[in-house]
Amino acid sequence: MKVNDFFQKIPLFLKEVRMEIKKINWPNRQEILKYVLIVIGVSLVVSIYLGGLDFIFTFLLQKFILK
């Protein structure tokens, strides 16, 4: 591919990108807020679960193995 061909195809590429972006169904403000709260909630649940496992395993190691 020649360099000149590359630079000639850039405007066509950008036009096609703009057409495809118009087809995207962007979420509204309420949907974004809902998704953010879901991510925060799931993150909290997972962190509490993993923190609990860490606490339990640390306690068991100190109690029975490390004494």
Enumerate the domain spans of the chain: 3-66
- DSSP state letter for 64: I
Residue 4's pLDDT is 76
**Pick from 14, 15, 35, 39: nearest CA to 26:** 35
pLDDT of 1 > 80? The answer is no
> pTM value?
0.64
- How far apart, in whole angstroms, are the C-alpha atoms of residue 67 and residue 44? 32
pLDDT of 66 > 80? The answer is no
pLDDT digits (tens, 9 = 90+) for 8-44: 899 999 999 999 999 999 999 999 999 999 999 999 9
- How far apart, in whole angstroms, are the C-alpha atoms of residue 5 and residue 60? 67
Alpha helices in the chain (DSSP H): 3-22, 29-60
- How far apart, in whole angstroms, are the C-alpha atoms of residue 50 and residue 13? 46
Residue 64's pLDDT is 86
